[in-house]
Chains A and B, each alone.
Chain A
Amino acid sequence: MKTEQAATADQALKRTPLHALHLELGARMVPFVGYDMPVQYPAGVLKEHLHTRAAASLFDVSHMGQIALRARPGALKAAAEALERLLPADIAGLKPGRMRYSFFTNGQGGILDDLMVANGGDHLLLIVNAARKQEDEAHLAAEIAKDCSVERQERALIALQGPEAEATLARLVPDCMGLRFLEARRLNIMGAPCLVMRSGYTGEDGFEISTPADIAREIAEELLADAAVAPAGLGARDSLRLEAGLPLYGSDIDEATSPIEAGLAWAIPRPRRKGGAREGGFPGARIILDQLERGAPRARVGLRPAGEGPEARAIVRAGAPLYAEAEANAAIGSVTSGGFGPSLDGPVALGYVPAAFALPGSRVFAELRGKRLPLTVVALPFIMPRYKRS
């Protein structure tokens, strides 16, 4: 059997403030976008995944970028308006304590990165992908630094996700219970100023907590002391987001995918659409808004095995070509993410297909080890999210 070799320690890898804690918890560490990160703990990906959906898990996502934008001098509105030149969200209308999902676009209508934007009252906090944070910072510095300051925040980011997340966090900071999905509030945890966001990447209710680096470990240990909470690594984070149908930058979305074909039109609000108060005005607007009106030639879809029996448990992974027929020669698309979905007890995948195949119930075939495996296009997400919306 050929397996990937265990990662060797690399001196050049960066460490998050929770690195030592991961080692003490017995994590298997892997290099991930320049960081030495826990892919799993002794419980393993399967149990960590299921525990997140049943109780609560703690994830270290401190490798992600946290960038603060501040207007200088004066009103935050100037920073919001500047940011709107780079993405198709309504930031000017984003109230203090609220968050939005958005994406930086390029002139071809592709996606440079996806991100969360939180209005922290006196600043906008951008949470960006670890793999893109340097590019994002450079992009912001080049495009909007004349209108606002762009500051990297050297802070930790802890995600607490799952149905027990609220009860657990409330023991440390009762005020967290007042937050609904996509609300953010500055709260003190163990005496330290934190930004508590009701958000996540698992399809579960939960929080993402930006903390000062020097107290992150104490907060993590306090949360882990709760019997409901277990640590979870990047492996479970990936299977959880996959079941929740959430795209992963670099796999499901990139500079060559438009937000419309990626199924992210919902994140483009009316004021930025055609006829809106601030129509367009972001890179690639013409292409993206045209696609929004007329439809995109292809679409990101959910895929599940169509057959039954053991064959239907074979996992179709990223890169597998997709075909219209069991014998067709030319691929019509490909799988961009695929794996085993522990909560569905079976394979799940995301991929791109032509618009004509995008309706739920459509049949496509994936090539796997020289065979064509029938797949059914299904509506996303695969699992019903349990965000706290009210």
Chain B
Amino acid sequence: MLKFTEDHEWLKLEGDVATVGITTHATELLGDVVFVQLPDLGTKLNKGDGAAVVESVKAASDVYAPLAGEVVEINQAIVDDPATVNADPQGKGWFFKLKLADVAAMDGLMDEASYMKHIG
């Protein structure tokens, strides 16, 4: 099951590793993504740290670490072809995988129904 943040990130948990991306709604706000900068492997992030940068034709936006953890995998495919983020934001367009410091913290995030309500 996907979890969501108010800042339009989604997380999918497998074991203690969460895959993180930006939501379909976020890509609609951004428009065409033309550049993505991802964190280095092994980066330890606190919740709220700037983790990635996504640039569209319109603006640059920061992607924040939704929870604390260590970056254990990054999606080079979206760096090589940023349009992947628009084409499949909640699938092939994932950003990075985070080994969570505290898996239970996932419970504090929104489920899909709450997120849909949040974006109205």
Q: How far is the CA of A249 from the CA of B35 in the complex (A)?
A: 27
> Which residue of A44, A315, A369 contacts B32 across the interface (Cβ within 8 Å)?
A44
> Which residue of B26, B34, B79, B82 contacts A3 across the interface (Cβ within 8 Å)?
B26
Q: How far is the CA of A369 from the CA of B60 in the complex (A)?
A: 11
Are the C-beta atoms of A45 and B60 separated by less than 8 Å? no
Are the C-beta atoms of A314 and B35 separated by less than 8 Å? yes
| Interface residues as binary, B18-48 with A (CB distance below 8 Å gives 1, 0 otherwise) | 0000100010011110110100000000000
Q: How far is the CA of A314 from the CA of B82 in the complex (A)?
A: 12
Given the interface pairs A313-B34, A315-B35, A369-B53, the reply to whether A1 lies near B64 with Cβ below 8 Å is yes
Tally chain A residues at the interface, Cβ within 8 Å: 24
Q: Which residues of B contact A315 (CB under 8 A)?
A: 34-35, 55, 60
Given the interface pairs A3-B30, A4-B29, the reply to whether A45 lies near B58 with Cβ below 8 Å is yes
Min CB distance A304 to B, Å, is 14
Q: How far is the CA of A47 from the CA of B57 in the complex (A)?
A: 11
Are the C-beta atoms of A45 and B22 separated by less than 8 Å? no
A207 at the interface (CB under 8 A from B): no
| Interface residues as binary, B47-65 with A (CB distance below 8 Å gives 1, 0 otherwise) | 0000001110111111110
Are the C-beta atoms of B60 and A317 separated by less than 8 Å? yes
How many pairs of A and B residues are in contact by the CB < 8 Å rule? 66
Q: Which of B72-99 contact A (CB under 8 A)?
A: 79-80, 82
Min CB distance B102 to A, Å, is 22
B70 at the interface (CB under 8 A from A): no
Are the C-beta atoms of A2 and B62 separated by less than 8 Å? yes
Q: Which residues of B contact A40 (CB under 8 A)?
A: 31
Q: Which residues of A contact B82 (CB under 8 A)?
A: 313
Min CB distance B19 to A, Å, is 15
Are the C-beta atoms of B54 and A339 separated by less than 8 Å? no
Q: Which residues of A contact B62 (CB under 8 A)?
A: 1-2
| Chain A interface, DSSP helix/strand/loop, else mixed | mixed
Q: Which residues of B contact A314 (CB under 8 A)?
A: 35, 37, 53, 55
> Which residue of B35, B55, B61, B80 contacts A2 across the interface (Cβ within 8 Å)?
B61
A381 at the interface (CB under 8 A from B): no
Min CB distance B29 to A, Å, is 5
Q: How far is the CA of A223 from the CA of B28 in the complex (A)?
A: 28
> Which residue of A3, A44, A46, A340 contacts B35 across the interface (Cβ within 8 Å)?
A340
Q: How far is the CA of A340 from the CA of B56 in the complex (A)?
A: 8
Q: How far is the CA of A1 from the CA of B35 in the complex (A)?
A: 15
Are the C-beta atoms of B26 and A235 separated by less than 8 Å? no
Tally chain B residues at the interface, Cβ within 8 Å: 26
Are the C-beta atoms of A1 and B61 separated by less than 8 Å? yes
Q: Which residues of B contact A6 (CB under 8 A)?
A: 29
Q: Which residue of A lies closest to B66 (CB)?
A: A1
B16 at the interface (CB under 8 A from A): no
Q: How far is the CA of A47 from the CA of B30 in the complex (A)?
A: 14
> Which residue of A310, A340, A369 contacts B57 across the interface (Cβ within 8 Å)?
A340
Q: How far is the CA of A314 from the CA of B53 in the complex (A)?
A: 9
B12 at the interface (CB under 8 A from A): no
Q: Which residues of B contact A2 (CB under 8 A)?
A: 7, 61-62, 64
Q: How far is the CA of A340 from the CA of B61 in the complex (A)?
A: 14
Given the interface pairs A40-B31, A313-B35, the reply to whether A1 lies near B9 with Cβ below 8 Å is yes
| Interface residues as binary, A36-80 with B (CB distance below 8 Å gives 1, 0 otherwise) | 000110001111010000000000000000000000000000000
Q: How far is the CA of A235 from the CA of B57 in the complex (A)?
A: 8
Q: Which of A303-338 contact B (CB under 8 A)?
A: 310, 313-315, 317
Q: Which residues of A contact B31 (CB under 8 A)?
A: 40, 44-46, 235
Q: How far is the CA of A369 from the CA of B26 in the complex (A)?
A: 21
Q: Which residues of A contact B79 (CB under 8 A)?
A: 310
Q: Which residues of A contact B30 (CB under 8 A)?
A: 3
| Chain B contacts to A: CB under 8 angstroms | 7-9, 22, 26, 29-32, 34-35, 37, 53-55, 57-64, 79-80, 82
Can you offer 22 A-B residue contacts whose CB atoms are under 8 A?
A1-B7, A1-B62, A2-B62, A2-B64, A3-B8, A3-B26, A3-B30, A3-B59, A44-B31, A44-B32, A44-B57, A45-B57, A46-B57, A49-B57, A310-B80, A315-B35, A315-B60, A340-B34, A340-B57, A342-B57, A347-B35, A369-B53
| Chain A contacts to B: CB under 8 angstroms | 1-4, 6, 39-40, 44-47, 49, 235, 239, 310, 313-315, 317, 339-340, 342, 347, 369
- A-B pairs with the 5 shortest C-beta distances? A46-B32, A45-B57, A340-B34, A3-B29, A313-B35
Given contacts A6-B29, A46-B57, A340-B35, 17 further A-B contacts (CB under 8 A): A1-B26, A3-B8, A4-B29, A45-B31, A45-B57, A49-B57, A239-B57, A310-B79, A310-B80, A314-B35, A314-B37, A314-B55, A315-B34, A315-B35, A315-B60, A340-B55, A340-B57
